[in-house]
Amino acid sequence: MAAILRFRKLCFIEPTLKNTGSSETPKDEKQEESRTITKHECDKTKKNKKMQRWKCIDSCCWFIGCMCTTWWLLLFLYHCLPAHLSGFKSPESPGVRLKNEGLTPLHPVVLVPGIVTGGLELWEGRPCSHGLFRKRLWGGSFAQILQRPLCWLEHLSLDNETGLDPPGIRVRPVPGLVAADYFAPGYFVWAVLIENLAKIGYEGKNMYMAAYDWRLSFQNTEVRDQALSRLKINIELMYVTNGNKKVVVVPHSMGVIYFLHFLKWVEAPPPMGGGGGSGWCDKHIKAIMNIGPAFLGVPKAVSGMLSAEGKDVAFFRAMAPGVLDSEILGLQTLEHMMRVGRTWDSVISLLPKGGDTIWGDLDSSPEDIQTVSSYQRQNNTKHQIEIKQETKYGRIISFGKTASEQHSSNLTTHDLVKDKLLDSGGKCGEVWTEYGKISRENIMKLADNKAYTAGTLIDLLRFVAPKTMKRAEAHFSHGIASDLDDPKYSHYKYWSNPLETKLPHAPDMEIYCLYGVGLPTERSYVYKVSQSDKCNTIPFQIDSSAEGKWLRGGVYFVDGDESVPVLSAGFMCAKGWRGKTRFNPSGSRTHIREYRHKAPGSLLEGRGLESGAHVDIMGNVALIEDVLRVAAGASGEEIGGDRIYSDILKMAERVNIKL
């Protein structure tokens, strides 16, 4: 940060001083008073100042452009040079190595992409979209963002009342393996895994990408596109045409809970379900290999709903204050992002599930840091004592650093439902962000020395995003079932929550939790009230100035894969489904396979062969080998059983939940 401030001073302050200052003192004061500056000279001075400022900015852009060009050139040369050239031989891919070991395809493979990574194309649009028929609006070059940004945003939005298509607009998922092989040119998602599967013999007849519109609620993908029915039919087709071999399903990120929804839908009776019956999953599915699973949600979904930010946006705000929030430029970037994002019901599926039981209360959480034992001398005898460093991760949202640290007895509390704080009857006209109906007084009441846990933040979101939450909560639930035999849990709103639904009766089906560890992952946030009090602006923002031992840039971090904390990715395999539990009545076997993150050794490695990052892990050679071996017939025990580097087992022990 100090370097950034020095750079800013160099580019903006010193040139100004040099142009406005004078190195000589006039000898004659009368002569100085009579000196006049012509209009031409004044304009020339201003122009010189502006040119110096822009020259500095141009130099920065030029430097960044050179760095990016160099990286792409090295990557291009790496892939184009002959493999036999000394010093440039690329490592042997898992697919080639396992093929040489005799591995061949056995079980058909179904790939289920997560949120954001699947391509979307235009089938019908407004006049501003002329020439874009069946062109990718998402998951391509993104050129339309620069050419017609407002039109692009309009066509990516869903109807704010129905959560489906707005009138006159049809945007649909790109079909086939190309739907999510690359997110953008050169940025792979599934491409590396698909290529390695192909190397041992997989092709279109035994490999299928279950593309769906990731913006919609899971049940609405069936209502509008029959996506769940298509997935069911394709699994049945591959099962029959591949010698009645069960399918290996590989979901990623939000695709994990999308497929969990499918498991209940496919066996449920119509019209709500697919009518497959209670034995469908046991008959058709060998294993579910969940990559980067967001089983219990992600805290970053909360910051996205509250202020359209995460650590990256907050960092950018700190580096370039005023760019995103500039009233002069009038970009309203975050407001537009929030307006569009709040029409995507799928985002609500990623809010933390399980409330305070899973994520912790105001004073404790399963991820509280435990220090190494300390020694204290008393009466000439050493006594070993345990020192507990409580970071209070359970406070997912805190307004002010003090509120994130002090004891809960010092925090102001109130009942949001009872107080009706936000019933202000706003006068902003069209509500872009849903904040337009909240008065400044009530904004201050929400933020005044308060912290919100996974349980209370749902009420907070219901007030700051009432239309979004009312629509989306008809499709998703975030609690813990007390009695899973209660008939209400047969409704589809509970099917994507592993704490409110049972796994199907499939004792031979295996469930894997495959995820990266060793990367700082967003867990909770310190917020402040923003300065602007205009209608339809976002009144809250992450306080990037908040720093501490476990706090950086207003964000508390824990172990994970940069997006999903270990607690969310691993708890169900470590405890919730381990053995026969009420969530797993048939005792389907679970396996935890963690991949310790290792940064790439050079630019030529691209995004790394041992990365544990949420998307980059799709190119992790160890993960690819695990998937290939299971697809070729291996069981969890045969590939090594559990491989755990994190404290997930200790965290799971601290969660007091009825099994």
Residue type present at position 58: D
CA max distance for the chain: 103
For 558-569, b/e burial (b = at least 16 CB within 10 A) is: bbbbbbbbbbbb
Residue type present at position 167: P
Strand pairing of 120-124 and 136-138?
A: antiparallel
Rounded CA gap, 469 and 473, in Å? 6
* Residue-by-residue DSSP string for 445-462: HHHTT-EE-TTHHHHHHH
Could you say which of 129, 155, 614, 616 is catalytic?
614
Strand pairing of 170-173 and 120-124?
A: antiparallel
Could you say which of 129, 157, 217, 253 is catalytic?
253
Count of C-beta atoms within a 10 Å radius of residue 538: 22
Strand pairing of 369-370 and 187-188?
A: unpaired
Rounded CA gap, 612 and 624, in Å? 12
253 is catalytic: yes
Rounded CA gap, 348 and 62, in Å? 40
Q: At what angle do helices 621-631 and 191-199 cross, to 10 degrees?
A: 50
Rounded CA gap, 255 and 235, in Å? 16
| Residue 321 neighbours by CB under 8 Å, 6+ apart | none
Of 255, 267, 340, 279, nearest to 304 (Cα)? Answer: 340
155 is catalytic: no
Return the half-sphere exposure (C-beta side, CA atoms, 13 A cut-off) of residue 412.
12
Could you say which of 561, 616, 626, 647 is catalytic?
561
């993908």: which residue's tokens? Answer: 221
Query: What are residue 249's phi and psi, to 5 degrees?
Result: -100, 135
Of 281, 282, 284, 250, nearest to 266 (Cα)? Answer: 281
Rounded CA gap, 392 and 476, in Å? 27
Rounded CA gap, 238 and 236, in Å? 6
Find out whether 422 and 331 touch, Cβ atoms under 8 Å: no
Find out whether 161 and 343 touch, Cβ atoms under 8 Å: no
Burial class (CB in 10 A: 0-12, 13-18, 19+), 517: buried
Rounded CA gap, 522 and 563, in Å? 7
* Positions marked active-site: 253, 561, 614
